[in-house]
Amino acid sequence: MSESDMIAAAEAYLSLVDAPPNSSEARLSALAETLDRLAFVYHRVTETDLHYEVPDRSHDVYQAAHKAMGRRFPELGFYAVATSKDITAPPMTGDAIDDLVDIADELQQVQWLWDNKSPEAAGNLFRAGYRLHWGRHLQDLRGHLHALLQEP
């Protein structure tokens, strides 16, 4: 497993969220599979101390992406999620569309680094982003998808 596997997994996710299958079940199943692939690849990418910078994205671009993603995945919306190690903390509300957009945004940055800087820089952002931000989105969304796909 290498950085090329990482970029292939990132591109598969970005392709899926850009043009998902027509049926709801196929859409959600494909999404679950691509999220599983991203999580698996995370554990196989090596991180270095290489530093990098990526272009910023404006709030307007995020809003447009959120609306477009909502049209592509109409069956997804809000869901309950535990966000604390404290078992007495009440569940919070997750937003599956926000999860999809945030993951896509970070993977687009990974892809940009791959194309414009180096595979190592892309790998660093992939691992750091997973640990610090989009990994939580992935895990929460994956649990929600499991409930939608597997539970009666």
Question: Could you state, in order of their start, the residue ranges of all structural domains in the chain?
Answer: 3-150
Per-residue pLDDT reduced to its tens digit, 41-75: 999 888 776 666 666 776 778 899 999 999 999 99
Please tell me the distance from the alpha carbon of residue 141 to that of residue 36, in angstroms, as a whole number. 11
pLDDT above 90 as % of the chain = 72
Q: What is the CATH number of domain 3-150?
A: 1.20.120.1550
List the Cα angle 117/121/124 in 5-degree steps. 165
Residue pair 102/20 in contact (Cβ under 8 Å)? The answer is no
Low-confidence stretches of the chain (pLDDT beneath 70) = 1, 49-55, 58
Other beta carbons within 10 Å of 73: 18
CA separation for the pair 136, 132 (Å, rounded): 8
pLDDT for res 3: 77
Q: Compute the distance between CA of residue 97 and CA of residue 132 in angstroms, rounded to an integer.
A: 19
**Residue 5, Cβ neighbours under 10 Å: how many?**
14
Instruction: Check residue 41 and give its pLDDT.
Output: 95
